[in-house]
Amino acid sequence: SLNYLGTYAFSWNDFTGRLVIPLSLEEIPASCFSSCLKITEVVIPEGVVKIGEEAFYRVGIRTVIFPESLRIIDDSAFEGSNYSGHLVLPSNIEYIGERAFAFTQITGIDFPEGLTFCGESAFYFDKELSGVLEFPASLKVIPDDCFAYCSKLEGLVIPSGLESIGSYAFRGCTSLAAITSKALVPPVMDSNNVFDEVPKDNFALEVPEESINAYRSAPYWNEFKRISSYSGFVCRPSSANVLNAG
């Protein structure tokens, strides 16, 4: 049985249609199927724990079936692919690399509780991503450019344990109309560009009642002109993509 594939093993191949990865593999290596433009679906079996860097970079895939065994999706693994529809990640995912799903056509995301790392620009310019994203409690950092230019994204729910948000994390998210933070301590923002181009005057930032003054005085959070308390999140936009309550 096949238990090893090398880097670039099938890149720029003319495979067409559905690709089924062998049961015996534990890792899909870097650039293994990169630029296979005619692959439309990938089935990844149980036992695979890692998808390597650029493994499916610029691949024609529209759907992927992930195994519960999967723990790591490395840098640019699906960047520039035709991946579309709702992204459902398995419960054991811990690591999503830089630009892993940048420039795709995904419309929603289900992240599991347990995700601890999400890389810079992981979902950069996913222009079809919409609804409300609720981040898992296990995530402590939203890094630079993570959701930049996701222009259809409508709302955010920030978990209680989030510690920091990187530069330009939500730049160009011009459809944002609701942000709720469950964090008692305002997450540190690197600069005033985190929500660059977001219409901050058009909606209220909702925070724990006991933290209103902290947000009103916190650097860059205080640029939200309306800061109010919440008593339980209500999704005001038309749809929600829940990333687990935190």
Single pTM value for the model: 0.90
Give the SS3 label for residue 215: helix
pLDDT for residue 245: 39
pLDDT for residue 230: 83
pLDDT for residue 15: 87
pLDDT for residue 111: 85
pLDDT for residue 234: 46
pLDDT for residue 1: 62
How do strand 39-43 and strand 17-20 relate by DSSP bridges? parallel
pLDDT for residue 4: 76
pLDDT for residue 118: 97
What residues of the chain score a pLDDT lower than 70?
1, 231-246
Query: pLDDT tens across 179-204, in order?
Result: 999 999 999 998 999 999 999 999 99
* Angstrom distance (rounded) from CA 108 to CA 241: 6
* Angstrom distance (rounded) from CA 182 to CA 9: 46
pLDDT for residue 233: 47
3-state secondary structure 28-78: ECCCCCCCCCCEEEEECCCCCCEECCCCCCCCCCCEEECCCCCCEECCCCC
